[in-house]
Amino acid sequence: MKKEILDRTESFVREYLSGVESGHNWWHIHRVRNTAIYIHAREQQGDAFTIEMAALLHDIGDYKVKNDRKKVDLKVFLDGLKLETEQIDIIINIIDHISFRAGFGPDYEHFAELDIVQDADRLDAIGAIGIARAFNYGGSKGNEIYDPEQEPRNYKSADEYTRSDSSTINHFYEKLLRLKDLMNTQTGRALAESRHRFMEDYLEQFYREWNTG
């Protein structure tokens, strides 16, 4: 029964994300799902099915996902899967609080399933893949790669962060380099270390090349 639900959810997500910017397409979901499963296997906390469902659905309705589909009511979709009300509420709670911009809002309660999916999503935003995704998304918005006259910004609200047109290099300082210290789980923190160092090395090389000559 759970496998059937996961398969139906995967098909729904694949269709929903068809044709979107590649930093937030199905393969992002695929990586986050696999990383969440990996973290759960090592942490041995939380419900595996809930974690996998939230990982699959975490970008449905996200403002960064640009496609022609109408707004999806996740609760209606989950009701159609005949899930228990409590489980639906937990999955929606995870999706509502997983993003970096949720940190600009009121404090929210952490629990194992949220912590694991949030770590998995944040891990996909850093390291080699995170760098590729950052430049891909920045390019899709028409943002500068780098503007040495533009300082990184200190956002005061989720709306200010969402509307930002800051350069992609600034985005490292505004978000990506902060994620290592925001990991919730021991496994997430361990995985983040090497990815964080890779970003630091990348920035050193970037500035070295930028300033050559």
CATH fold label, 2-210: Hypothetical protein af1432 (1.10.3210)
Domain ranges of the chain: 2-210
| Percent of the chain residues past pLDDT 90, beyond the cut | 72
Q: Read off the pLDDT of residues 74-127 as tens digits, 9 standing for 90 and up.
A: 888 899 999 999 999 999 999 999 988 777 677 889 999 999 999 999 999 999
User: Strands (DSSP E) along 34-190, which ranges?
Assistant: none
- Nearest Cα to 171, choosing from 161, 182, 156, 183? 161
The predicted pLDDT at position 187 comes to: 98
CA 125 to chain CA centroid, Å, is: 6
Q: Read off the pLDDT of residues 135-160 as tens digits, 9 standing for 90 and up.
A: 999 998 899 999 999 988 887 777 77
Query: In whole angstroms, what is the distance from residue 120 CA to residue 38 CA?
Result: 9
Q: Which pTM value belongs to this model?
A: 0.92
| pLDDT reading at 161 higher than 80 | no
The predicted pLDDT at position 37 comes to: 98
Please state, in angstroms and as integers, the Cα–Cα distance from residue 170 to each residue in 5, 54, 104, 207, following that order. Answer: 40, 30, 19, 12
| Percent of the chain residues past pLDDT 70, beyond the cut | 94
Question: How many C-beta atoms surround the C-beta of residue 82 within 10 A?
Answer: 8
| pLDDT reading at 162 higher than 90 | no
